[in-house]
Structure 1
């Protein structure tokens, strides 16, 4: 069908297809009406091109522009900013095709499309996004090259080959700039997704407000251990600690009390540390996830870190880009006060009017197991045994809880996911006058057999408890391990529902599905490690490998300037060599053409030798003196053409022989002189 279309129609349809791909990549980040309007405009423009109909006038285009501005403002409450700006750019790119009448308009569309490509990095810098952008980039380059070939009907494949060659020639320059150009701080953040109803972490925890939890398979962080990793059941990556409870929601303890009222950290570690490296995905939070317990802060590029008295590590700014840091943790540790302090009263506080049956259960347990600090370990064991033997279950679909969430868990529903279990456990501990709080983070993970990294996903988000015991300080207790031991170990993990394609492959061959997933994640991790995580520090490390003892930004600039100069000199030398080594056949033909020009016989660079021979014969055919010389010159020109285009082995003269004969030729005279 493309071969029968006029060239303008064919080129327009190709450009519209590329623009459609650029806009399609933004479907997940723009409002539904933006996608619908963009698709409608592109389909309309395609119909106009196929039918050869005139483009709409300015009133229609202005009306669509006003509609776009109004819809953008209603959706985003502004016309500026990242999300509103991307929405406008996508729609305006489509609208611009409605006034694409000349090559100048096409060039505006090209460069607006290039700009739209850049906006994809506002939302994702993944390998899949980069691959999609590469396809769009090659398509736009092909259309741009094709627009600079206005004569005839060159095939799009020819323009694509030229565009691909241009991209390959630019790749070394891109690599040098990537390695040596100063790494600036990100100009934008990487947004997360709404976590409501999905597994993952937030700064607070509303118990029982989610009837069904959807497991999120997105990767939260990747970990590479130095040496033997700890058992999976000991992989607790510590996050926010929640101590303030209002009956419905758990939050971090309110700040505002003096340092004298704060709980001392008093961290004591022993044994051999676990050394590892973490690659953490952006989460828009100032949290660093490390194994318990980590006395020394990880080094995060361009971001200061600090540890709270609850052993949580914070950064100075939210993590909006992929970061990598090394850490050293001690699985064996103790921390917190060893004896009663005033600040522990915050850890046993409960709001009035909630969970009366849980309070009654606490009184019954106290009567059975005694009172005082020495009875607290027995009480904890009794509660854990109740979880193991009381018919409690771990589920992602517990239904909605009411006001008294702990009562419903202990006596009615007897099921929930980790937030229900941890919250109900801590409420019961506080009812027993045992200081307790909730710790959130990630637990477990799975090793990728391809690259050896441990992958921790959002579905590995977990909530556990800490209780304070006299003489021991804070002690981790995971009540979920009593209800569902497989959640903490390496078996019986709840899985997120798979898509249709992944589910089909998994049903046919589970091992193949797991291997494909591991391979893809290993490739994506390599992209993260070597491309997205190429930081300022790694640039300076590169200079160290090049021999700089204490590299600085000045050294980096010198190296970059030196490389640019070396490449420029190399390009100049190659150009000189290329000129000297240019096609000798073309050089010989040019010498003959220049000689004939001096004799008054004009020709162009595209005049073939056969045509020159014919002109020579016609010019001097009636000249009795020079007819013989003209005939020999015409014969030489025909031999020159045969040497280039004749079938190999046909016995034609060699180029060196023709060059010698050219020196001995007797040239006719210029009869016009």
Structure 2
């Protein structure tokens, strides 16, 4: 019983939403705008310096507290001091005040600081348009479907706040402003669609700057063996593949990347070059021989900041890149673009599963294999001793006999494929072959190539992706960063370079049957997997199919697809001039439509003003005179002084008072929620006297 008053007080305590509804309008609108700004900044947190995130969040919270407490805004000295701190911190973080990263940092902080100057509508407009600009900067870092959806919400939020700022009278609800913002966005959608479809793509101006994306492909131009104690699987998509016909068997899905030939005891690099890139000398026609039917397919690769063009082993013809882009082949059969891949890229190509290359040098002389036999002195003595034993046992047998002996040891020697091998010491190959007997593909391939070279067999490492998974929703094969792989190539005089995947000898499921080691599921994914083992996989496949459609039809809408659309519209041999004419015509039509709509809108009035005007006309017909622009309060005085019958007079006075409250009363007060439709019906139902 002692707790009954407290319980009653808790029961009578208004809800959070009710308290928000009773806030003064300036406070409510300010808090809403701060929430929208926070939503705009949120997706960029991972790309901003920590001090920037903390400062922006602190300023927004401070501004919200000032609004709730009805405190005065800080002086300009505060703002000047914070601005100086921002400039110094930006310079310290980026060593410049220009460029993408530094510019976005400044925009985010300035947007937050500007909220401390919200004293007039002019300040609010600056905040709105700075918010629109900050919203666009999110696409510097990601153009994914999730980012686009989040920015659509941000756009509607900023439009709602902008519309609300242009409704200074009364206490219009956010819901009404949001509905109006949605209508405006829908009205502008056709123009936006026309600009997207017909605005000329002038690469690279249409795309992002070369540093605009920071995606990782899962590959590297060098490989440091044993430096990671644990390999975390990255399940992000690296590429998507659409085969024209039946796809190859999964064991043949080797997507070629950098070829690593030089080993210093710890690091593998391409041909020993300083930047790890292979020489770009294409093999001659006589060195590459293919047979069988080609495998035709379409590749869509994610941004990697590298020029590598993934193709199945092996692609003799250059990939068909969009626009005027070209590709070149290295001496190691890897295809490269002429600039790094900084945006989603789709291209068509064809590969052959049966091929031979490397039988001779490209100038016609016998191949010099010394580069592929070289090992650093003083490293891995036990592996060298094992190689010497192989040479004593096999003698002059061909290279494939040495390969079979090494693979047999991997299959029967108790070796294990694991993502947690621990950090290796100086003798990486020795530790794998004789101590740990465990590792992931880079350990296994490196130890195998060291053994082959020690035995006199030319060998090197090839990196890329192996495998993938079929998405049953859209038919695309998805290749993830977790599918990044390293395998070996050995050279024989009879066959040239031959692919050997020693990881398959340790863990056959890693190559052929898709029995992959996978990252553990999170709490939500684990719960879904427990409830339904297939639900999580189906949800993932559906989402990736939707995201792939976004990539194919929106992000990958290229110049060639623009011209294809023009040809379908009946324009033969379309050009930029044709695009400009179509776009200009559509904009003229949109402008004329806007003029017609504006004239119609000008003939209309605010529904509240229209109802008030109707009341003035009806009162004038009933003999009640009032000024042409009389507000409800003046009309009430005119009704009180009129000769109208008492029932009608009392009803009119009540109705005019309700009309005034509907416009000017605070939200949540009595009568403020009466809709204009209700007032209009009540006005029509009044018993007006017949005109004389």
Alignment of 1:197-346 (within 5 A): 200-254=218-272, 266-302=287-323, 303-337=325-359, 341-346=366-371
Match of 1:395 in 2: 418
Return closer, same or farther for 1:315/1:492 CA change in 2, 3 Å cut-off.
Answer: same
TM-fit CA distance, 1:100: 1.5
- SS at 1:150 equivalent: coil
Moved more, 326-335 or 180-189: 180-189
- SS at 1:343 equivalent: coil
Match of 2:491 in 1: 468
Q: 8 Å contact 1:263–1:344 — kept in the other structure?
A: no
Match of 2:3 in 1: none
Q: 8 Å contact 2:278–2:332 — kept in the other structure?
A: no
Query: Which of 425, 429, 450 is the aligned partner of 2:473?
Result: 450
Match of 1:365 in 2: 390
Residues in 2 aligned to 1:328 and 1:274: alpha-carbon distance in whole angstroms:
5
- SS at 1:396 equivalent: coil
Return closer, same or farther for 1:130/1:581 CA change in 2, 3 Å cut-off.
Answer: closer
Return closer, same or farther for 1:103/1:513 CA change in 2, 3 Å cut-off.
Answer: same
Return closer, same or farther for 1:148/1:130 CA change in 2, 3 Å cut-off.
Answer: same
- SS at 1:462 equivalent: strand
Return closer, same or farther for 1:39/1:61 CA change in 2, 3 Å cut-off.
Answer: same
Q: 8 Å contact 2:233–2:482 — kept in the other structure?
A: yes
Residues in 2 aligned to 1:489 and 1:7: alpha-carbon distance in whole angstroms:
65
Return closer, same or farther for 1:77/1:580 CA change in 2, 3 Å cut-off.
Answer: closer
Match of 2:84 in 1: 66
Query: Which of 99, 121, 127 is the aligned partner of 1:103?
Result: 121
Moved more, 455-464 or 108-117: 108-117
Q: 8 Å contact 1:225–1:276 — kept in the other structure?
A: yes
Q: 8 Å contact 1:55–1:99 — kept in the other structure?
A: yes
Residues in 2 aligned to 1:168 and 1:263: alpha-carbon distance in whole angstroms:
55
TM-fit CA distance, 1:565: 2.4
Return closer, same or farther for 1:578/1:53 CA change in 2, 3 Å cut-off.
Answer: closer
Match of 1:627 in 2: none
1:543 paired with 2:566, answer yes
1:499-537 superposed Cα distances (whole Å, 9 cap, x missing partner): 222222223322111111111111111111111111111
Match of 1:657 in 2: none
Moved more, 82-91 or 455-464: 82-91
1:294-316 superposed Cα distances (whole Å, 9 cap, x missing partner): 11111222421111121100001
Match of 2:15 in 1: none
Alignment of 1:546-625 (within 5 A): 546-572=569-595, 603-604=627-628
- SS at 1:18 equivalent: helix
Structure 1 unmatched runs, 5+: 622-641, 654-660, 667-673
TM-fit CA distance, 1:353: 1.0
Residues in 2 aligned to 1:557 and 1:36: alpha-carbon distance in whole angstroms:
46
1:132 paired with 2:150, answer yes
TM-fit CA distance, 1:262: 9.1
Residues in 2 aligned to 1:227 and 1:510: alpha-carbon distance in whole angstroms:
30
Return closer, same or farther for 1:190/1:503 CA change in 2, 3 Å cut-off.
Answer: farther
What's the C-alpha RMSD, in Å, of the aligned pairs? Answer: 3.7
1:182 paired with 2:207, answer no
- SS at 1:294 equivalent: coil
Return closer, same or farther for 1:549/1:454 CA change in 2, 3 Å cut-off.
Answer: same
- SS at 1:276 equivalent: strand
TM-fit CA distance, 1:579: 8.7
TM-fit CA distance, 1:540: 0.7
Query: Which of 168, 174, 178 is the aligned partner of 1:156?
Result: 174
Match of 1:90 in 2: 108
Q: 8 Å contact 2:452–2:459 — kept in the other structure?
A: yes
Q: 8 Å contact 1:56–1:98 — kept in the other structure?
A: yes
- SS at 2:314 equivalent: coil
- SS at 2:557 equivalent: coil
Query: Which of 351, 354, 376 is the aligned partner of 1:351?
Result: 376
Match of 2:133 in 1: 115
Query: Which of 469, 473, 482 is the aligned partner of 1:459?
Result: 482
Residues in 2 aligned to 1:280 and 1:466: alpha-carbon distance in whole angstroms:
25
Query: Which of 545, 550, 556 is the aligned partner of 1:533?
Result: 556
Moved more, 485-494 or 501-510: 501-510
Residues in 1 aligned to 2:134 and 2:68: alpha-carbon distance in whole angstroms:
26
Count of residues in Structure 1 that have an aligned counterpart in Structure 2: 631
Q: What TM-score, normalized by structure 1, do the two folds share?
A: 0.86
Moved more, 358-367 or 571-580: 571-580
1:374-416 superposed Cα distances (whole Å, 9 cap, x missing partner): 4222111111111100111101111111111111111111111
Q: 8 Å contact 1:122–1:189 — kept in the other structure?
A: no
Query: Which of 54, 73, 93 is the aligned partner of 1:36?
Result: 54
TM-fit CA distance, 1:105: 1.2
1:125-152 superposed Cα distances (whole Å, 9 cap, x missing partner): 0011111111111111111100011111
